[in-house]
DNA sequence: GCCACCTACTGAACTTGTTGACTAGGTCGA
DNA sequence: TCGACCTAGTCAACAAGTTCAGTAGGTGGC
């Protein structure tokens, strides 16, 4: 029931197609609300029939037509109601952490997975940094935060950034620990 | 399909009832794998019929009977297969972040939510710290990490700890930013 | 000139996850 | 002795999420 709110918050940036939303989610919303494109398309249909968004079809040449969605007043209202209300605690699902919990029986494989995650987090940091620079648009952060119309998307981006940086640090720590234990097991003093 | 792996990783600590698992999840696994008790009970039944766990019923006086589950060899194998394999990227769902993304239209309410989240994260840090002290059992971290039989659960605990500390920092930052903007809007120089 | 990826979706089947209510006795504090 | 919370679950209904496949033309590189 709450994917809609993430969609509406994204539509505050202006009208977008399902496809646009999928890209936007992939680029930054995924940090706090993961979903597949299929979910978006389905949810957008429902939201339209609930009157939260309206679609306008844009015919395109040499490309499939697209439907651009934008928020209605009802949508804005629903979003405001959501932001006012209480929020469920963070729900995380991370298979790597499950694997780490069981790592002691399979240290090598898990080590490889941690290394991969570390690289992946580093790549994500680079992408977020680029997005950040783009959002700031030449202003300093301080200028931006006091003068920009909206700071919400910037604040969520900061959360994603620090989450991934934290990930990198934690991965490094795990690697050190597992490596040392590996050495100890190979040559137990 | 992957809740089972979280359950099996938890059962490495020894046999447990559905109720015990629910508590264990609540205390620490929830950081990387959220689930409701109902999910656990249902999944345990399925795992039993798949031969990954065995149950032994313990009759109790003055208390409902319980079924203690433990890993079978098949379960251990399945877990090893999982830890070896590739892992899906982290999936996060956080309503507060959705609200923050839309915060610019409703700063006061969102500010309150952020404050609440901050307090909640601080409480969680305190609980994790207690768990950590308990796990260490008087040893220094270094001693523990080189000598303990299993370090997996400790490493995941560290991830939870740093996640919540990061949460607290981010909340504080958001509050500062929103407060300053609030002041600016009330008295626009 | 072929392969791979991009735009922009749609559909159906299936698996997971959530919510609420119910059972039933025990313990603990005011 | 009353209400609140703890142990230890079960059941049913519903909502949400995942997976796989398909459509169909366009663009870009080697």
- The tokens of A178 are what? 């597992």
Question: Is residue A78 included in any domain, yes or no?
Answer: yes
Question: Is residue B123 included in any domain, yes or no?
Answer: yes
- Residues B139/B147, Cβ–Cβ less than 8 Å: yes
CATH number at residue B50: 1.10.10.10
Indicate the residue of B91, B99, B170 with minimum beta-carbon distance to A93. Answer: B91
Tokens 């079809």 identify what position? Answer: A57
- Residues A30/B101, Cβ–Cβ less than 8 Å: no
SS3 B151: coil
Last residue of a domain, one of B21, B51, B83: B83
pLDDT in 10s for each residue of chain B, 189 residues: 789 999 999 999 999 999 999 999 999 999 999 999 999 999 999 999 999 999 999 887 777 789 999 999 999 999 999 999 999 999 999 999 999 999 999 999 999 999 999 999 999 999 999 999 999 999 999 999 999 999 999 999 999 999 999 999 999 999 999 999 987 766 655
Task: Mark whether A101 and A121 lie in a shared domain.
Answer: yes
A146 at interface of B, judged by CB pairs closer than 8 A: yes
Task: Mark whether A99 and A57 lie in a shared domain.
Answer: no
Identify the helix (H) or strand (E) that includes residue B172: helix B152-186
Task: Mark whether B110 and B159 lie in a shared domain.
Answer: yes
Task: Mark whether B71 and B101 lie in a shared domain.
Answer: no
**Packed helices A37-49 and A3-11: angle between N→C axes, nearest 10 degrees:** 80
Question: Is residue B23 included in any domain, yes or no?
Answer: yes
Q: DSSP character for B68?
A: E
Total domains in the fold of chain B: 2
A63 CB contact with strand C at below 7 Å? yes
Smallest CA–CA distance, residue A187 to chain B, in Å, is 13
Burial class (CB in 10 A: 0-12, 13-18, 19+), A135: middle
Task: Mark whether B68 and B125 lie in a shared domain.
Answer: no
Task: Mark whether B172 and B99 lie in a shared domain.
Answer: yes
B105 at interface of A, judged by CB pairs closer than 8 A: yes
Last residue of a domain, one of B14, B49, B83: B83
Last residue of a domain, one of A83, A107, A128: A83
- Structure confidence by residue, pLDDT tens digits, A46-93: 999 999 999 999 888 777 889 999 999 999 999 999 999 999 999 999
Structural domain boundaries enclosing A31: 3-83
What is the reported pTM?
A: 0.94
Contacts of B84 (CB under 8 A, 6+ apart): A106, A109
B32 at interface of A, judged by CB pairs closer than 8 A: yes
């Amino acid at each position: 029931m709450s994917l809609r709110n993430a969609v509406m918050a994204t539509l505050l940036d202006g009208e977008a197609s399902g496809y646009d939303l999928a890209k936007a989610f992939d680029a930054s919303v995924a940090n706090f609300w993961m979903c597949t494109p299929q979910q978006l398309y389905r949810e957008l249909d429902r939201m339209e029939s609930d009157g939260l968004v309206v679609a306008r079809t844009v015919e395109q040449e040499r490309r499939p037509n697209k439907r651009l969605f934008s928020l209605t007043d009802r949508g804005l209202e629903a979003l405001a109601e959501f932001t006012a209300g209480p929020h469920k605690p963070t729900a995380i699902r991370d298979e790597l952490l499950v694997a780490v919990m069981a790592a002691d029986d399979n240290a090598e494989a898990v080590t490889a997975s941690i290394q991969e995650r570390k690289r992946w987090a580093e790549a994500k940091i680079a992408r977020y940094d680029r997005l950040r620079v783009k959002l700031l648009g030449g202003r300093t952060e301080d200028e931006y935060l006091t003068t920009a119309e909206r700071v919400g998307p910037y604040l969520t981006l900061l959360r994603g950034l620090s989450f991934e940086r934290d990930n990198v640090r934690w991965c490094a720590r795990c690697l050190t620990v597992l490596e040392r234990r590996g050495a100890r097991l190979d040559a137990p003093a």
